[in-house]
Structure 1
Amino acid sequence: MYTEFKAIVIGNELHLNKIAPHFGIQRKFKWEDPLLLKQDQLQGIVNNADSKMVYLFHFGSVVCVNLQHHEILDVIHYLKRLEPEIDISQNFPYEDDYKLEVNTEADFSINNDSLVVDAQCDHHLEIIATILAKSVSLEKNENEVDALLDRIEAVVNNLSRGELGMTDSGLARMTANILRFRLNTLSYIMLLDNPDITWNNEEAASLHNELSLLFELKERYENLRHKTETLMDITEAFSGLVHARRGTRLEWAIIILIMIEIVLSLYSMFISPLH
């Protein structure tokens, strides 16, 4: 028996405390809590909700369990009515699939695309969904920070020709993007935090650690952290150059004003008396 997971990114953030009441769920969600939509909540959104679930995460990831593609689209379009900021213009550029196989005759094993167990436990679903959600959200941030590195490389190339080519507002936007990446990867994705279930369940903690290693979450996070730190160092250098350029312009403006004042003084001293 297989349980199929598909994780996708539909935005930078989902307001679970605003979404939950629409499904009759009256509780407050912390950043680390996913919102789980089960069969009862999915009735009316998908035709047959048996054995189907959807995990929603604050950091913009959705993990669908046993849903077909058209059913996933139905769920996303329904969520779009609750969260207008959800982006459905693209065909899910950040997604990943995984399977949970229950086989009483097989040994426990973790593979790149599946987890094999002899009996299914509740924590299997939550741990797999959490790891997949973090992985696809991390991929989104990886691609975006790489795009930002490409932009900075173009600025560096201009700088090598003696052209800075960056305004104060452009520098401010670039710095804001870098800070947003750092916030997303640490606070929104909460990559370094374990789900609550791992604190009370040794098997859940072990599975979480093994899947984290499989998806290289910590290595990828460290990679991304180093890239953002490098970007911050570069933008600080750019900031120094921009300030120096502004200082130079100010000095020239002062020099020009002084020269104008001298010219006006000479005019009043030597030319005005003649008239």
Structure 2
Amino acid sequence: MEIRIEAIQIAESFNIKKFRTDFRTEVHSGSTSEVFYAMEDKDRYLYVFDYGVVVFANYDAVAKSELISFIKNYATNLVDLDLFEEYRIETDDNLQKVVVKNNYVIFPQVDSSILRIVMLNIGQSVALDYYEVLTNELITSSKHYILELEQRGKLSISKTNLLKYIGKVLNVKNSIVDNLYILDDPNLVWDNEELNLLNRHLKVNFDINTRFKDLDYRLQIVENNLTLFTDVLNVRESSRLEWVVIILIALEIAIALFFH
């Protein structure tokens, strides 16, 4: 048997509570931040995360398209970056242990708990792809200003635009911090050694922890650049104020001399 899995980043976030209410299918498990459906009569599985990722298992193109159209009604800030990841699960009764590969995993037999762990890790991987894109955009834009400092010795960006840029950086970082839980191990692995081992193998396979550390490092670089830009802007503003003070003093002296 083969189960096809696909994870897609659809939006920045979903309203999970409202989606659960309107999506009239029995919930297998979930929380305020995620919901997992096991529609075994149709041999379909669905995992929705509040950080804007949907993971499908055994959905054909039509069913997937219909679900995406439906769930967009509960989305905030749709993402148009074509971020997705495909994976598959195979079963082999002769296996004695799980075999994890880059594009697939093989089990002696599969149940909903195994599917949840696999789909969870694929969803995490796609979410990290999205944050990597955002962070790379921030680094690219900061390089432009650094190059300007190197070549001209000053920044042409206005205070308003710099503040907007700072706000964008902080928004991305806060979004990542808010979703730090995506790296947490799910509750169902705590008392099941086999699921715990599978979860660890998949995290290594998708480089979940390594990629997050790299993401955090890149954000730190951007923050350091922001500090530099802010200091340069403060110096520029201070210099401008000094000239204003000098001009006012000169005018006051000129007026005093004139009337004297």
TM-score, L = length of structure 1: 0.86
Residue 87 of structure 2 is matched in structure 1 by: 98
In the alignment, is residue 235 of structure 1 matched against residue 220 of structure 2?
A: no
Residue 38 of structure 1, CA deviation: 4.1
Which structure has more strand as a fraction of its residues?
Answer: 2
Residue 202 of structure 1 is matched in structure 2 by: 193
2:53 corresponds, among 61, 64, 76, to 61
Structure 1 distance, partners of 2:13, 2:156, is 33
Residue 190 of structure 1, CA deviation: 2.2
Structure 2 distance, partners of 1:189, 1:37, is 23
CA contact (8 A) 1:137 1:189 kept: no
CA contact (8 A) 2:7 2:86 kept: yes
Comparing 258-267 with 94-103, which one deviates more in the overlay? 258-267
Residue 28 of structure 1, CA deviation: 8.4
CA contact (8 A) 2:93 2:109 kept: yes
Structure 1 distance, partners of 2:30, 2:121, is 22
Q: What does 1:172-251 align with in structure 2 at a 5 Å threshold? A: 172-251=163-242
CA contact (8 A) 1:191 1:218 kept: no
Percent identical residues: 21
Give structure 2 stretches of 5+ with no counterpart.
Answer: none
CA contact (8 A) 1:191 1:221 kept: no
SS of 2:86's partner is: strand
CA contact (8 A) 2:38 2:112 kept: no
Structure 2 distance, partners of 1:176, 1:37, is 37
SS of 1:59's partner is: coil
Residue 20 of structure 1, CA deviation: 0.9
Give per-residue Cα distances to partners, 1:231-256, cap 9 Å, x unaligned: 11110111111111111111111111
Residue 138 of structure 1 is matched in structure 2 by: 128
Residue 17 of structure 1 is matched in structure 2 by: 17
Residue 257 of structure 1, CA deviation: 1.0
1:120 corresponds, among 103, 110, 128, to 110
Residue 265 of structure 1, CA deviation: 1.3
Structure 1 distance, partners of 2:119, 2:175, is 18
Residue 258 of structure 1, CA deviation: 1.1
Structure 1 distance, partners of 2:93, 2:15, is 40
CA contact (8 A) 2:190 2:196 kept: yes
CA contact (8 A) 2:36 2:116 kept: no
CA contact (8 A) 1:138 1:189 kept: no
Residue 29 of structure 1 is matched in structure 2 by: 31
2:149 corresponds, among 142, 152, 159, to 159
What one-letter code is carried by the residue in structure 2 that aligns with 1:132? I
SS of 1:7's partner is: strand
Structure 2 distance, partners of 1:146, 1:28, is 32
Residue 3 of structure 1 is matched in structure 2 by: 3
CA contact (8 A) 2:7 2:55 kept: yes
What one-letter code is carried by the residue in structure 2 that aligns with 1:35? V
Structure 2 distance, partners of 1:208, 1:118, is 16
Distance verdict in 2 for CA 1:209–1:184, change over 3 Å? farther
Question: Alignment length, in residue pairs?
Answer: 256
CA contact (8 A) 2:124 2:183 kept: no
Residue 141 of structure 1, CA deviation: 0.8
Residue 120 of structure 1, CA deviation: 0.9
Residue 189 of structure 1, CA deviation: 4.8
Answer with 1 or 2: which has the greater Rg.
Answer: 1
CA contact (8 A) 1:6 1:65 kept: yes
Residue 159 of structure 2 is matched in structure 1 by: 168
What one-letter code is carried by the residue in structure 2 that aligns with 1:200? D
